[in-house]
Structure 1
């Protein structure tokens, strides 16, 4: 007998709810998989698509920038047009863009396809999460759903690293995009079959088109200027024009948001809880996050000579430490408090990054990567869990989804800007070192500089934490600990 999909407004039975949650979690897994699956294949993508070093950065940044800049817009569209509808559309766009990326015969086509992937991800992530929360209205059920969501996100990141290595070594870099295309299409079919239709929010208001355009163009100009400065120089006319235009557009965006009734980022959001502090710290954490996974595979393959498969397997300890830190984070906070936990986590990550800044051209995985990877994974995951929590504390229920979307946006955008800046730094150091050192030594010098600056940024961020995070009031602390016990026991 053909399975009956629950109609709009119906609450699925518990077994059916598990099936629906599985389909929604698969959508989140697909987004996280596509985020990490390209990292191991970057040297092969560079050679196959004829990319420059700056162009290789855009393979990562085009996706992250479009994803981050349009994430809030995707959530707004889901509220206005219907979450299931936007989720299916996002999955289809994601599948088509992945197919185009795998078939790309030029650098421009590949980068454009990656940006289109980011657009699809910006529709998938908020719509899937909102449907999952809608599916689990009570505290205990919602806690279990969020626990599944966190586990799936970690598994997607770890699975992407390993799967990217396997596919690249066996069938070449194009196969990673074809794999994502097939997976996205299958998830779209599952959503059509099992996820209830739901309804659109007729009171959501108008879409903030001007605000969306202003912030997207501003961020694109900023990242393009930082990336291009490496080859063209900081005094290059187009670079200066792009950075100046970015500053003007950011000011325009702020003015639009202050004057628009249906703002993409309503000013009221920053008057409650500690949204501003949480997002500022998350942006700084994100600026290091994406760059770490960009430089580590390059060092393993280009300097140590590891194959894509060995490179992917070599990052599994970092992923395992990340998942372990996520599980331990609530317990550590209950013992030490928010400020001490976040500060300690960031200092742990800074120590791992500082250790990575001592890599050498004649190094090895065991001596140069394994130990610091574990430190970085633990610190990164613990800080991420609590900064995400911090960014939504005290926010009214009607703005909870928006606050969650905003903290993911700042992480993605911070990552895009941080990667552009650190890649420019690494390229400049490598170019200077190449005048008097071997190619491998010059590459290593660039990577060392990127890791050293990353360590300094993380240490400085850790010092900011006690200054920015004010003590919780007792009622809010008790409420927050109760929620944490439900989500991550």
Structure 2
């Protein structure tokens, strides 16, 4: 006789589709959070000229509205990922979203440059909690294989939507309502994410969630990044061989050495150094760093060229420039489908080639240029390369990462892009300043052309790193890859793709 089924218990066949739908709904929510963070970063680029004028900020000070968030975002990502593994990924994700909400309100109400820069630092802290945690939840929601590759492509592809929307919305809000609304628009998105997270996201922890917090590691890594950004961004003023530049570079090297020593001896390392011995993780993230340098550097440079040299308004140039992030979204999805069939290494290589070609096309812009012949084709080439390259590099970096290290591995992957962005902005700003030959359009264009060339150099470095570090197949995930063999063995999952 058939036993009655308890109330509320669904047949296994019916429960499976429901679980699948919930999993994809969770992906949408995580991508919305990623969208919000990217929207905040991109929209500010077009709002920066008006913002700087209203708050009385110089060009050098205004750069820190961008760099302040990127530095704290990149510098604290590892701590954010590790905290999520230990305290609970959903809990930390929601805490970061709440801080993001507060930061956005303060930025919109900021009366001067000091307040907005401080609020952007807080925004970087919130992003360092939100983004790696969201990516870690994604990794633990989707098993390795086609579904995870599709999810990662969606995660990377939403960057194209966020960047496009940031350019369009940033231009529209700045032109129609003022730069303050670039920040206020984040408020309803953050509230939506906070409301739906308890419904759609399950709680999860890493297996190794005990031991003290490694605050020293977080502090030294962030200070090292600040020293490096300061050295590069002020090199055009202080001189590349000047005592201040060399002193900051020396401080950077010393802080990195201290960080490595702290991590090597810590009972609870922020970044287990043995994890970096995995060639695909190190290679994928270093390539991502160079792509971030090129992407952020090119975005800032093209915005300066379009608005200052050619005289386009924020909304108009936001529309014109949006072709690049839209094609990055298309490239991410096309790239992930190719990765599944032939592996990440050819896709990374093709993406880097397109990034380099697009940067070189833009390095020829004239002072009296126009959109279609001088800008459009460089963006059309650059966009798909960015989407496909970053999606494939993420797959490479996160291949066979063990579950208990997914938070810190996700933090490293996102940090690579953000640190690359901060470095890229600093370098292209310094290069453009050094090569500017005069106050007019022709003099400024000479500096911007040099900045576009610098973006191509970033990509060439990425090509060398990809050739040296991305192996034919990713290494299997073992406890040794995380803690030097002191942990318990992990279940290995085969990844159905070859690099």
CA distance in 2 between counterparts of 1:263 and 1:175 reads: 40
Instruction: Identify if the C-alpha distance between structure 1 residues 377 and 118 changes in structure 2 by more than 3 Å, giving closer, same or farther.
Output: same
Q: Does 1:244 align with 2:250?
A: yes
Please give the residue correspondences for 1:316-327 in structure 2 after superposition, counting only pairs within 5 Å: 316-327=322-333
Determine if contact 1:63/1:117 at 8 Å carries over to the other structure.
yes
Q: Identify the residue that residue 444 of structure 2 maps to in structure 1.
A: 443
Determine if contact 1:273/1:394 at 8 Å carries over to the other structure.
no
More divergent stretch after superposition (260-269 vs 122-131)? 122-131
More divergent stretch after superposition (181-190 vs 408-417)? 181-190
CA distance in 2 between counterparts of 1:187 and 1:77 reads: 20
Q: Identify the residue that residue 168 of structure 2 maps to in structure 1.
A: 162
Q: Deviations over 1:323-353 (max 9, x none)?
A: 1211221444577664443333212211111
Instruction: Identify if the C-alpha distance between structure 1 residues 393 and 60 changes in structure 2 by more than 3 Å, giving closer, same or farther.
Output: same
Q: Deviations over 1:85-123 (max 9, x none)?
A: 212221111111111111112222111111111110111
Instruction: Identify if the C-alpha distance between structure 1 residues 228 and 463 changes in structure 2 by more than 3 Å, giving closer, same or farther.
Output: closer
Q: Does 1:300 align with 2:300?
A: no
Deviation at 1:83, TM superposition (A): 2.0
Q: Deviations over 1:274-320 (max 9, x none)?
A: 22222222222222121111111111110111111111111221112
Give the root-mean-square deviation of aligned CA atoms. 3.0
More divergent stretch after superposition (143-152 vs 90-99)? 143-152
More divergent stretch after superposition (343-352 vs 227-236)? 227-236
CA distance in 2 between counterparts of 1:198 and 1:469 reads: 31
Q: What count of residue pairs does the alignment treat as equivalent? A: 470
Which of 227, 231, 234 is 1:225 aligned to? 231
Q: Identify the residue that residue 355 of structure 2 maps to in structure 1.
A: 349
Q: Does 1:272 align with 2:282?
A: no
Deviation at 1:226, TM superposition (A): 1.9
Give unmatched runs, 5+ long, in structure 1: 1-9, 485-489
CA distance in 1 between counterparts of 2:442 and 2:341 reads: 45
Q: Does 1:472 align with 2:464?
A: no
CA distance in 1 between counterparts of 2:299 and 2:145 reads: 35
Q: Does 1:383 align with 2:384?
A: no
Q: Identify the residue that residue 259 of structure 1 maps to in structure 2.
A: 265
Q: Does 1:42 align with 2:48?
A: yes
Q: Identify the residue that residue 128 of structure 2 maps to in structure 1.
A: 122
Determine if contact 1:273/1:395 at 8 Å carries over to the other structure.
no
Q: Identify the residue that residue 455 of structure 2 maps to in structure 1.
A: 454
CA distance in 2 between counterparts of 1:289 and 1:378 reads: 12
Instruction: Identify if the C-alpha distance between structure 1 residues 250 and 102 changes in structure 2 by more than 3 Å, giving closer, same or farther.
Output: same
Which of 300, 312, 320 is 2:318 aligned to? 312
Instruction: Identify if the C-alpha distance between structure 1 residues 370 and 55 changes in structure 2 by more than 3 Å, giving closer, same or farther.
Output: same
Please give the residue correspondences for 1:63-462 in structure 2 after superposition, counting only pairs within 5 Å: 63-136=69-142, 142=148, 145-192=151-198, 195-196=201-202, 203-234=209-240, 237-333=243-339, 338-430=344-436, 433-434=437-438, 438-462=439-463
Deviation at 1:413, TM superposition (A): 0.9
Instruction: Identify if the C-alpha distance between structure 1 residues 112 and 470 changes in structure 2 by more than 3 Å, giving closer, same or farther.
Output: same
CA distance in 1 between counterparts of 2:207 and 2:237 reads: 48
Q: Deviations over 1:111-138 (max 9, x none)?
A: 1111111110111112223334444468
Determine if contact 2:84/2:205 at 8 Å carries over to the other structure.
no
CA distance in 2 between counterparts of 1:265 and 1:229 reads: 30
Deviation at 1:13, TM superposition (A): 4.6
More divergent stretch after superposition (411-420 vs 182-191)? 182-191
Give the 3-state SS of the residue equivalent to 2:311 in structure 1.
Answer: coil
More divergent stretch after superposition (277-286 vs 164-173)? 277-286
Give the 3-state SS of the residue equivalent to 2:234 in structure 1.
Answer: helix
Deviation at 1:212, TM superposition (A): 0.5
TM-score computed with the length of structure 1 as normaliser = 0.87
Instruction: Identify if the C-alpha distance between structure 1 residues 337 and 19 changes in structure 2 by more than 3 Å, giving closer, same or farther.
Output: closer
Deviation at 1:145, TM superposition (A): 4.2
Determine if contact 1:82/1:201 at 8 Å carries over to the other structure.
no
Deviation at 1:167, TM superposition (A): 0.7
Determine if contact 2:70/2:419 at 8 Å carries over to the other structure.
yes
Instruction: Identify if the C-alpha distance between structure 1 residues 26 and 338 changes in structure 2 by more than 3 Å, giving closer, same or farther.
Output: closer
Determine if contact 1:273/1:393 at 8 Å carries over to the other structure.
no
Determine if contact 2:344/2:393 at 8 Å carries over to the other structure.
no
Give the 3-state SS of the residue equivalent to 1:472 in structure 2.
Answer: coil
Determine if contact 2:153/2:332 at 8 Å carries over to the other structure.
no
Deviation at 1:46, TM superposition (A): 2.0
